[in-house]
């Protein structure tokens, strides 16, 4: 799919500084590139050279704000998700990778984007 826009709140500059114990809101506007009965979200971050999945992530993307499944090809999607930055997370600067995928055996990426973040 085509990503039209991405926003991270709160974020004044890159990398987005997100304090431990607080939350961030990620919003993406993209155009779907396929039909899908269900969507799932995966979020990864590189820590010490290893890509790790974001812990405690809500994977069912059909329950995000403004997304109703099933979705059709060439439809605008406005997906919003709140992420908790746990107090035990390491203080680190990294790039988070977000994927919205079909939740089926094809596992097709609908849209993906990266965001530079700094946990402080």
pTM, 2 dp: 0.81
Q: What mean pLDDT comes out for the span 86-100?
A: 90
Say how far apart CA 8 and CA 107 lie, in whole Å: 25
CB 118 within 8 A of CB 10: no
**Count of CA atoms in the C-beta half-sphere (13 A) of 62:** 11
Q: Is the pLDDT of residue 103 over 80?
A: yes
pLDDT tier for residue 59 given thresholds of 50, 70 and 90: confident
| pLDDT at 62 exceeding the cut of 80 | yes
8 Å CB contact between 9 and 82: no
pLDDT above 80 (res 56): no
Distance, C-alpha 116 to centroid of its chain: 12
User: How many angstroms separate the CA atoms of 59 and 103, rounded?
Assistant: 10
Each residue of 28-45: pLDDT tens digit? 999 999 999 999 988 998
Average pLDDT over residues 101-108: 86
For 95, the enclosing helix (H) or strand (E) is strand 93-102
């Amino acid at each position: 799919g085509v990503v039209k826009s991405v926003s991270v709140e709160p974020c004044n500059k890159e990398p987005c500084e997100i304090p431990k114990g607080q939350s961030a809101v990620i919003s993406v506007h993209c155009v779907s590139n396929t039909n899908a009965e269900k969507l799932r979200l995966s979020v990864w971050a590189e820590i010490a050279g290893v890509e790790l999945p974001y812990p405690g992530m809500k994977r069912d993307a059909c329950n995000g704000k403004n997304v109703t499944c099933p979705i059709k090809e060439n439809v605008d999607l406005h997906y919003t998700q709140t992420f908790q930055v746990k107090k035990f997370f390491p203080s680190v600067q990294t790039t988070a990778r977000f994927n919205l995928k079909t939740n089926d055996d094809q596992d097709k990426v609908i849209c993906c984007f990266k965001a530079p973040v700094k946990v402080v």
